[in-house]
């Protein structure tokens, strides 16, 4: 499709709107002297903390009437230098912004000469999942020509006016690890809320013990503004994976799978039974996720299960059909737990491997201490000391939507970036040693 080259034109009033982590406005859009498209975007840090903008945060794609796409090559250029693509100057450094600071950046489409776009898709990838919005650019009239107010907020689930709409993020073509088989399926694919832009962030307020917050009937915590820490009893969710080494990072994902209700019930009800040790709760979790019946566990563990689970849950577990183990380690755990004669140390040795886990397909680089942005509006990160002891930190911004919400550790899985390491579910019981 042919197009006459048009000069860059101003397309908004400069009014910024919140979109993902930042507030942004598309200020200029059009073709440069070489006929290739360029766009100028204003970005403002409306958070309460210092934030750094890098090229990977802004993903721009032009789409024509036939569905053909042209994608920006991922560089941020200096606005003060204009001209053809070959003369543009790249920002090689992170653009740090204090709260309220604003920067302007130029992006370019160096293979777009002669292209006729009808839509521009902007994905802000500072948070996971990304915020994505589409603009009508037919005739270079971004947002229908109505200025920034027509651009839409870009927030998930919202639709703007004047030709903007939420869109599906571009597909991630990186190799994906298979979803875990069995009773708990939470995996790195489900960890969609990590916030790499916050890697250097530490709240400026003093850290407080989470135990000072009001508790909920589930054993969770009623969140208030502040920075909190909790030494949680954490639990392995599978047999045959390596325990934490202290090197890998962990991110949030929800507890999912056929046994999610049973596992959450075990964790929540353990708060009401301090006489039941963490080891016994862990043994029951391993039995459940390994596909065992409760009546296979011996009298002592059957009695423990009766304290922590409902009768319908126990009946359903005893009625489920027997299946083949999903791994050698799971088979060993079944053998050791059957009859209740093996020691916990023997079961633990079969379930949790020692050493350093090697990455595989679907692993990703997650540094230790990475924040995740929970859908309820708070930030959370995990520092496992062992598989059974995780330090959980939560930051609740002032005036945010998380204030008054429940933080329920039993719904949180700390998922490692290395997919052969243990996934760790948390509980509301404090780990004291």
Question: With contact defined as beta carbons under 8 Å apart, do 189 and 195 qualify?
Answer: no
**Highest mean pLDDT, choosing among 5-14, 247-256, 275-284:** 275-284
Q: For residue 349, which phi and psi values (nearest 5 degrees)?
A: -65, -35
The whole-number pLDDT of residue 167 equals 36
CA distance 224 to 228: 10
Question: With contact defined as beta carbons under 8 Å apart, do 162 and 143 qualify?
Answer: yes
Least confident of 104-118, 229-243, 256-270, 401-415: 104-118
Place of tokens 């008054």: 404
CA distance 286 to 350: 11
CA distance 351 to 290: 10
Question: With contact defined as beta carbons under 8 Å apart, do 117 and 64 qualify?
Answer: yes
> What b/e readout covers 69-80, taking b as 16+ CB neighbours within 10 angstroms?
ebebeebbbebe
> What b/e readout covers 328-346, taking b as 16+ CB neighbours within 10 angstroms?
ebbbbbbebbeeeebebee
Q: How open is the CA angle 82-85-87, to the nearest 5 degrees?
A: 60
Place of tokens 């404090």: 430
State the average pLDDT over residues 254-266: 96
Residue 170 has pLDDT above 70, yes or no: no
Residue 34 has pLDDT above 50, yes or no: yes
**Does residue 300 or residue 47 have the better pLDDT?**
300
- Sign of the CA dihedral 193, 414, 286, 307? negative
Residue 9 has pLDDT above 90, yes or no: no
State the average pLDDT over residues 391-403: 92
State the average pLDDT over residues 299-309: 96
- For residue 268, the SS3 value is helix
DSSP-H helix ranges across 271-399: 278-289, 299-308, 311-319, 328-337, 344-351
Look at residues 347, 142, 100, 383 and name the one whose alpha carbon lies nearest to residue 246.
Answer: 383
Neighbours of 19 (CB within 10 A): 22
Look at residues 113, 131, 112, 111 and name the one whose alpha carbon lies nearest to residue 122.
Answer: 131
- pLDDT tens sequence across 313-348: 999 999 998 888 888 899 999 999 998 889 999 999
Interhelix angle 299-308/278-289, nearest 10 degrees: 90
pTM over 0.85? The answer is no
CA distance 242 to 354: 6
State the average pLDDT over residues 217-223: 95
Distances (CA, A) of 88 to 4, 84, 108: 22, 7, 9
Residue 431 has pLDDT above 90, yes or no: yes
Q: What percent of the chain has pLDDT over 70?
A: 80
Residue 91 has pLDDT above 80, yes or no: yes
Domains and CATH numbers, the chain: 9-166 (2.60.40), 188-430 (no CATH)
- pLDDT tens sequence across 124-160: 665 555 566 666 776 544 443 333 233 333 333 332 3
Strands of 185-322 (E only): list them: 207-209, 221-222, 226-236, 241-242, 250-254
Least confident of 15-29, 35-49, 181-195: 15-29
The whole-number pLDDT of residue 97 equals 87
**Does residue 404 or residue 118 have the better pLDDT?**
404
**Does residue 60 or residue 285 have the better pLDDT?**
285
The whole-number pLDDT of residue 390 equals 97
């Amino acid at each position: 499709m042919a197009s006459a080259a048009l000069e860059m034109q101003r397309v908004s009033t400069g009014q910024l709107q919140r979109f993902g982590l930042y507030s942004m406005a598309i200020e200029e859009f059009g073709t440069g002297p070489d006929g290739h498209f360029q766009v100028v975007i204003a970005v403002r840090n409306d958070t309460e903390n210092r934030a750094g903008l890098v090229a990977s945060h802004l993903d721009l794609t032009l789409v024509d009437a036939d569905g053909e796409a042209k994608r920006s090559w991922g560089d941020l250029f200096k606005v003060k230098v204009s001209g053809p693509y070959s003369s543009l100057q790249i920002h090689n450094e992170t653009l740090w912004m204090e709260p309220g600071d604003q920067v302007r950046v130029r992006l370019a489409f160096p293979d777009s000469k002669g292209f006729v776009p009808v839509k521009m898709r902007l994905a802000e990838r500072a948070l996971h999942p990304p915020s994505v919005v589409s603009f009508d650019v037919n005739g270079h009239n971004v947002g229908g020509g109505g200025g920034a107010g027509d651009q839409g907020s870009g927030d998930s689930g919202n639709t703007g006016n004047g030709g903007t709409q939420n869109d599906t993020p571009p597909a991630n073509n990186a190799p994906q690890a298979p979803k875990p088989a069995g009773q708990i399926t939470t995996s790195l694919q489900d960890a969609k809320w990590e916030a790499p832009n916050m890697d250097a962030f530490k709240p400026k307020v003093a850290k407080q013990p989470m135990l000072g917050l009001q508790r909920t009937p589930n054993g969770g915590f009623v969140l208030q503004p502040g920075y909190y820490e909790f030494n949680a009893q954490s639990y392995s969710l599978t047999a045959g994976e390596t325990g934490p080494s202290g090197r890998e990072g962990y991110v949030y994902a929800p507890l999912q799978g056929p046994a999610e209700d049973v596992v959450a019930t075990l964790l929540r009800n353990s708060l009401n039974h301090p006489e039941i040790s963490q080891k016994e709760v862990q043994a029951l979790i391993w039995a459940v996720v390994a596909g065992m019946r409760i009546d296979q566990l011996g009298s002592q563990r059957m009695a423990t299960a009766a304290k922590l689970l409902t009768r319908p849950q126990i009946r359903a577990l005893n009625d489920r059909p027997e299946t083949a183990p999903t791994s050698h380690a799971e088979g060993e755990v079944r053998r050791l737990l059957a009859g209740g004669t093996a020691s916990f140390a023997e079961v633990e040795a079969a379930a949790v491997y020692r050493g350093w886990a090697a990455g595989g397909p679907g692993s990703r680089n997650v540094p230790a201490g990475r924040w995740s942005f929970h859908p309820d509006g708070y930030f959370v990160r995990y520092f496992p000391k062992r598989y059974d002891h995780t330090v959980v930190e939560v930051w609740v911004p002032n005036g945010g939507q998380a204030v008054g919400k429940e933080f329920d550790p039993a719904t949180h899985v700390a998922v490692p970036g290395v997919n052969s390491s243990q996934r760790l579910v948390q509980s509301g019981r404090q780990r004291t040693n």
